[in-house]
């Protein structure tokens, strides 16, 4: 997939001390460096963080989504037990893949309810005659890591390339909708979400069963997390938000309003400048809907790059390069 090169933002000096694994705290003697604020659920941005750190870009984890397994997996368990009755299974995210396949393994394990399932063992349990459709390469990779991949299994994913789109619309273009008329389709997702896939399949005559494999909720950052974020964003030209979910951006907007007030409304005493600094940082997204959500939240410097972590990495490298050059010249 060819990366789309963003326009590098302007840079200034910084006073942040980088720590191990790209974590940072405020300081006054350390050399400046660019920092990417990663907002994926806890533990799900590690590979991107390592790649950014290798390029000399610090990272700060500030998750905007908490992911957890369903407290009551009964509906998911029923679906996993009856996979052979479906003509197609659709996973809308890597989290859907991981949580559903973990339940599949759990249900098939000799120890039954006393043993937690491991999604990596699911390949031998998935019916080879049941096609799997996913919205993007992250979900396809999660399937492959679980042993569900071509040529043994039929996996449908939107194609990559410079003009790639990884969303419901792109997936629907890859499906022969008429083939599912009068047949059952399983749609695995988290709580809520867009209805386009289900509505379109049903309009084509399919019987769609929707099951929730996990829950999403807004996190509650502690005082240390807020302090680290505010320290980094004291000089916003050296920071960039990495926003990969429109729902996460909406959580951020709600949290910022609760903590600092709104850009055009009432503010907590002493916080308007902090909010302005947070919103002045650059944003990098991989979809127009996420860019729209960021704009609605008050961000102005938004770069939309092609989907995929390799393209986010390339865009962030382009942004960080002039900052690193200025630092080297000091």
pLDDT along the chain (330 residues), means of 10: 34 29 40 88 94 96 96 96 98 96 89 52 92 94 95 94 84 96 97 91 98 95 96 94 96 92 58 85 95 95 92 96 71
Give pLDDT, residue 185: 98
Give pLDDT, residue 261: 80
Give pLDDT, residue 120: 61
DSSP tag of 187: E
Give pLDDT, residue 140: 95
Give pLDDT, residue 6: 35
Distance CA 71, CA 145 (A): 25
Give pLDDT, residue 114: 43
Distance CA 20, CA 24 (A): 8
CATH of domain 16-65+219-328: 3.40.50.10090
Distance CA 35, CA 233 (A): 9
| Token output for 55 | 């390029």
Number of alpha helices (DSSP H) and beta strands (DSSP E) in the chain: 11, 13
Q: Where in the chain is the domain with CATH 3.40.50.10090?
A: 16-65+219-328, 67-217
Give pLDDT, residue 329: 54
Give pLDDT, residue 111: 60
DSSP tag of 235: S
- Residues pairing with 241 in the sheet: 37, 283
Give pLDDT, residue 262: 67
Give pLDDT, residue 113: 42
Distance CA 251, CA 221 (A): 12
Distance CA 64, CA 301 (A): 19
Four-residue CA torsion sign, 64, 67, 71, 76: positive
67-217 sits in which CATH class? alpha beta
Give pLDDT, residue 1: 39
């Amino acid at each position: 997939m060819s990366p789309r090169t963003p326009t590098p933002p302007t840079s200034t000096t910084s006073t942040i001390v980088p720590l191990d694994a790209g974590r940072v705290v405020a300081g006054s003697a350390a050399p400046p460096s660019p920092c990417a604020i990663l907002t994926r659920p806890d533990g799900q941005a590690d590979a991107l963080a390592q790649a950014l750190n290798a390029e000399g870009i610090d990272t700060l984890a500030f998750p905007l989504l908490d992911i957890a397994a369903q407290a009551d997996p009964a509906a998911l368990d029923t679906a996993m037990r009856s996979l052979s009755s479906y003509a197609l299974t659709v996973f809308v995210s890597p989290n859907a893949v991981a949580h559903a396949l973990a339940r599949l393994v759990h249900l098939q394990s000799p120890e039954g309810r006393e043993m937690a399932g491991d999604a990596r063992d699911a390949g031998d349990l998935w019916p080879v005659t049941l096609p799997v459709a996913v919205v993007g390469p992250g979900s396809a990779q999660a399937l492959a890591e679980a042993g569900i991949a071509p040529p043994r299994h039929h996996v449908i994913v939107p194609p990559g390339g410079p003009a790639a789109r990884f969303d419901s619309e792109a997936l629907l273009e890859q499906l022969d909708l008429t083939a599912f008329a009068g047949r059952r389709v399983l749609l695995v997702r988290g709580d809520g979400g867009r209805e386009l896939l289900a509505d379109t399949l049903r309009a084509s005559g399919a019987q769609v069963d929707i099951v929730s494999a996990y829950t999403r909720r807004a996190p509650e950052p502690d005082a240390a997390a807020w302090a680290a974020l505010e320290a980094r964003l004291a000089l916003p030209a050296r920071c960039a938000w990495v926003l990969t979910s429109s729902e996460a951006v909406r959580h951020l907007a709600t949290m910022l309003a609760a903590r600092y007030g709104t850009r055009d409304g009432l503010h907590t005493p002493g916080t308007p400048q902090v909010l302005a600094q947070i919103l002045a940082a650059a944003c990098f997204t991989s979809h127009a809907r996420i860019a729209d959500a960021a704009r609605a939240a008050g961000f102005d410097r938004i770069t939309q790059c092609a989907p995929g972590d390799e393209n986010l990495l390339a865009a962030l490298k382009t942004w960080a390069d002039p900052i690193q050059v200025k630092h080297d010249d000091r």
